[in-house]
Amino acid sequence: MNRLLQNRLVLQLLLTSAAALSLSAISAILITDAVRNAERVVLGEANKNIATAVSELKEQYRYRALSDSSWQSLPAQARDISLRGITQTVLRSYPGVEGGFYSGSDFLGYAFPTHDTGSSKTDVPSAERELIVSLARRSAESNAFTEQVIRGKSDLLVLGATPASPESGGGLVIWTMKRLAGRATSGAWRRELLLSILAAAALASIAGSLATGLSLARGVAQIKTGLSQMERNFEFRLPQRSDELGVISRSVNQMASVRGELELKLRREDRLRALGRLAAGLAHEIRNPLNSISLTVQLLERRMDTNTIRREDLRTVRTEVERLSVLLNDLLDLQRSRKPRPELQFIMPVLKHCVSLVEQQARMHNVSVRLEEGREDLAGVFDSQQLTQTMVNVLLNALEASPNGGVVGVRAVLADGLATVQVEDQGPGLGADQQEHLFEPFYTTKPAGTGLGLAVSRELMRSQGGDLQYVASATGARFVVELPESPESSNAELNHIGS
């Protein structure tokens, strides 16, 4: 549910589709009811006309048969002509109604006075002949008015029949018929067509809404994925699109290009500033040993005249030369081009080795290094030599910052799929200004430091995809070494790695 609420566009499209489908269903019900009601009204009117016409024909026949005592003795042809006149006269008042008499085997007095072809119709419809005969026989058997509605493919047929009179003899039956074609059924047909169009429009609207929604959802997902890739790869660009989201994609790509140019300029300026700071720091660090060496050489020159040179006089020169050598080595480490060789391996053995390397310095500072027992199977992909150099630098800094009798804690943890090593001391910590310049070359808070250890360590970790960060802590300073990867590997996967 929360995921659906986050995709508001999809939710809106679903609600719109549900509303369109509901509207279509309601419209279908209303139109269907309207069609049925209209049909009932038309059929009711037609039945009424049929029944009235039959009743009037019956009255006219009774009058004719009772007023003429010779009626029964008349030949069939004479009765047919007389009855045709009655039918013609009566049905003239009932548009669309045709009818006549049926005497058990013969049709008499058939007429259709309102036939709209322009000529009089005198023949009983052959297609409905069997229907009329069947209805007339049922009416004669039941001796009552009988009606029937026949539904065809394109029309409705309404029939009615009733016995003429008890005196008619021979089972004479009066019948009438009305065809509802081109009027009642045409209205229903138009309504059905309208219903079909409405249903098709609703389905097309729903399909269009869903297609639009899915297209927008895919486009938004594509842009979202592209933005995520841009965070990792500044050269990546969103795919070109031809729809409305294409404008957004082009704008994002243009923004990324502008950002890339700005970042290139910023990196160039950063390199220039860093180079300036490096040159200034290097000059400052070299000047002091050179001054000391120069003064010592002058002293040696004076003592050569008196032949009083001592071995201790050369110690200062040797010490300062070693200091310069250490400085140059650190500087080369900062700029060295050796590519890291990361391998999948356990972390704890490397940490134990690093702790053992600084045990002597820890005893000299009266500080204990405590490696917390963690997961022995925690593994990462890293260069063990570079990680060792980084950890030793961080541990030595922690030892020097710790108070007498302090403890330096080391732990390896897995957080959010990333393996990290945390080193925390109990020293005074670092201020905001110190944190800002902490990883800059030649920046140091130690009187005898070169300011290159942390800078070199960070570059070593970043060169293999990791990082070195300072995290403020209430108990002192905490450095976090982030390893490039931290897959949870089973012993079977790592059985080739020695501990």
102: left (phi over 0), alpha (psi -120 to 50) or beta: beta
Amino acid letter at 41? V
Residue 53 burial (CB < 10 Å; 0-12/13-18/19+)? buried
Q: Which two tokens stand for residue 372?
A: 């917390």
Tally helices (H) and strands (E) across the chain: 12, 12
pTM listed for this prediction: 0.39
Q: Are 178 and 50 in contact (CB under 8 A)?
A: yes
Q: Are 441 and 277 in contact (CB under 8 A)?
A: yes
* pLDDT for the residue numbered 34: 64
Give per-residue pLDDT as tens, 267-313: 777 766 766 666 665 665 576 677 777 877 887 787 777 777 777 76
* pLDDT for the residue numbered 495: 40
Q: What angle do CA 365, 366, 369 make, to 5 degrees?
A: 95
* pLDDT for the residue numbered 499: 38
Q: Are 472 and 429 in contact (CB under 8 A)?
A: yes
Residue 171 burial (CB < 10 Å; 0-12/13-18/19+)? middle
Q: How far is CA 38 from the centre of its chain?
A: 47
Q: Are 225 and 249 in contact (CB under 8 A)?
A: no
Burial code of 81-114, b = ≥16 C-beta within 10 A, e = fewer? ebbbebbbebbeebebbbbbbbbeeebbbbbbbe
Q: Are 358 and 392 in contact (CB under 8 A)?
A: yes
Q: Which two tokens stand for residue 29?
A: 């019900």
> Per residue of the chain (499 residues), what is the pLDDT tens digit?
445 444 555 566 666 767 667 766 776 676 666 666 667 777 888 889 999 999 999 999 988 888 887 887 888 888 888 999 999 999 999 998 999 999 877 899 999 998 877 677 888 888 889 999 999 999 988 889 999 998 877 678 899 999 987 654 457 899 999 988 644 444 555 666 666 776 777 777 777 777 777 777 777 777 778 777 777 776 778 787 777 677 787 888 888 788 778 877 887 777 667 666 666 656 655 766 777 778 778 877 877 777 777 777 677 777 777 767 766 766 665 555 457 788 888 989 999 989 988 888 888 889 999 998 877 788 888 888 888 888 888 898 888 888 999 999 999 888 777 888 999 988 887 777 676 767 776 666 665 555 677 887 888 888 888 888 888 777 788 899 988 754 443 333 444 344 3
* pLDDT for the residue numbered 437: 66
* pLDDT for the residue numbered 6: 46
* pLDDT for the residue numbered 298: 81
How big, in percent rounded to 5, are the helix, strand and coil portions of the chain?
60, 15, 30
d(C-alpha 183, C-alpha 42), whole Å: 9
d(C-alpha 394, C-alpha 358), whole Å: 11
SS3 438: coil
Q: Which two tokens stand for residue 168?
A: 């008619």
Phi/psi of residue 414, nearest 5 degrees: -115, 115
d(C-alpha 164, C-alpha 464), whole Å: 112
Q: Are 359 and 365 in contact (CB under 8 A)?
A: no
Q: Which two tokens stand for residue 151?
A: 């539904």
* pLDDT for the residue numbered 288: 61
Host H or E run for residue 62: helix 8-67
Q: Which two tokens stand for residue 153?
A: 């493919």
Helix residue spans in 233-310 (DSSP H): 245-306
Q: How far is CA 65 from the centre of its chain?
A: 86
Host H or E run for residue 15: helix 8-67
78: left (phi over 0), alpha (psi -120 to 50) or beta: alpha
Q: What angle do CA 318, 320, 326 make, to 5 degrees?
A: 105
d(C-alpha 140, C-alpha 97), whole Å: 21
Q: Are 382 and 344 in contact (CB under 8 A)?
A: no
Torsion, Cα 226 230 232 236, to 10 degrees, reads 90
User: Residue 333's closest CA among 453, 447, 449, 448?
Assistant: 453
Q: Are 445 and 385 in contact (CB under 8 A)?
A: no
Give per-residue pLDDT as tens, 184-223: 444 555 666 666 776 777 777 777 777 777 777 777 777 7
Question: Mean pLDDT of all residues in the chain?
Answer: 77
